[in-house]
Structure 1
């Protein structure tokens, strides 16, 4: 059985008199330890899918199975626990607490997890052990994003969800961040789902989900993923 399975998932939003269908009968599956890329233009429905997978939003129909559990049936309290214990989030903007050091930002995640990893060990993993006592304002954009990834990994999550994680970074720094996420999937067996509008990134994925107008237009398995170092965009 796949680690993630979406079956005929739907999500609608009401905007005054108008109902907008953001996700319209989406199906796909992702295996444990996969590095999956959800790609599509703005408004394709990919962020809605991420929010549904992460328990930040609830679906209007269909099934969302994660690790054998149907989270679409969860109530608010169950979703809060699911987000807290099972999911690591990485966003385009780093969402670091400005008056805490890098290591304190990472420790924040450890405090709300059942089985956290050591904050200093994870900072070392992302190549920032020397910056542990720096505040976010003393770090570059790429370093701040690495702290954000370390914070997500420190929770020891089952699933790492990344929404345009390189969107605010320059080309080379973005590549370094993608390599870090890919290594996390490979070395730690964490299932990683990356949302992006950059179609070039599909070459490095195990699974590719191409979305348009709230539907999956293409889903395929990549037999020979290309290392991110060899991808140009």
Structure 2
């Protein structure tokens, strides 16, 4: 069994009389330590997949396994534990606490997990060794996103889930963030899943899952991923 398995996953939302299928029998797998890009147009169902995989939402049908455990069968309490210990989240907007320093923002995550990484060490790893005492308002967008990544990594997650992580950043800064995520995957063996609408990012992935109209249109394995530095869009 793969590290992540989705089998015929269905998610429906009811809006008055109308039922919308945000996931319509989605099936895919991701191996441990892979850098996976899930790509598709806006409204395709990518974020629904991420929310279900991250335990922020539950599915209405099908099965999900992560690291040999059936996440789709978890109770609400088990999902809280799963989100707390197993999942790191990075979003388009950084969700930092404005009146805490970079180091204190990272320490927030380490307070809720079992064996956290040292906050200062993780900040050094993401290139912010000189900025630990700065507040978010004193940091650029790219630096704030690095703090958000450090906060996620401090938990030592099994899965790092990134929803449009460069969406609020300029081109060069976005590239540096993607390089950081790719390097993190390679250096730590963390399984990284990036959601994006930007098809130009797909060459950097070990695995590319294309989603359209709430279904998986293709899943491809890339035996020779391109370094981010050589990708342009």
TM normalised by structure 1 equals: 1.00
C-alpha separation in 2, matches of 1:110 and 1:8: 35
Task: Write out per-residue CA displacement over residues 51-107 of structure 1, whole angstroms, 9 at most, x where no aligned residue.
Answer: 000000000011110000011011110000000000000000000000000000000
Distance 2:120 2:223 in 1: 35
Verify: 1:122 aligned to 2:122, yes or no: yes
Question: What corresponds to 1:163 in structure 2?
Answer: 163
1:27 maps to 27
Shift of 1:115: 1.2
Aligned equivalent of 2:210? 210
| Residue equivalent to 1:95 | 95
Taking the aligned partners of 1:222 and 1:10, their CA distance within structure 2 comes to: 27
1:187-202 equivalences under 5 Å are: 187-202=187-202
Deviations 1:20-41 (A, max 9, x none): 0000001111011000000000
- Distance in 1 (CA, whole Å) between partners of 2:222 and 2:9 is 24
Q: Secondary structure at the match of 1:130?
A: coil
Alpha-carbon distance in structure 2 between the residues aligned to 1:129 and 1:107? 15
1:96-145 Cα distance to aligned partner (Å, 9 max, x none): 00000000000000000111100000000000010000000000000000
Q: Runs of 4+ in structure 1 displaced over 2 angstroms?
A: none
Q: Which residue matches 1:110?
A: 110
The match for 1:37 is 37
The count of aligned residue pairs is: 233
SS in 2 for 1:131: coil
Unpaired runs of at least 5, structure 1 = none
Distance between the aligned counterparts of 1:143 and 1:9, measured in 2?
Answer: 36
CA distance in 2, matches of 1:175, 1:221: 22
Post-superposition shift, 1:223? Answer: 1.1
Q: Once the two structures are superposed, what CA deviation does each residue of 1:166-215 show, in whole Å capped at 9, x if it has no partner?
A: 00000000000000001111000000000000001100000000000000
> What CA RMSD, in Å, does the superposition of the two structures yield over aligned residues?
0.4
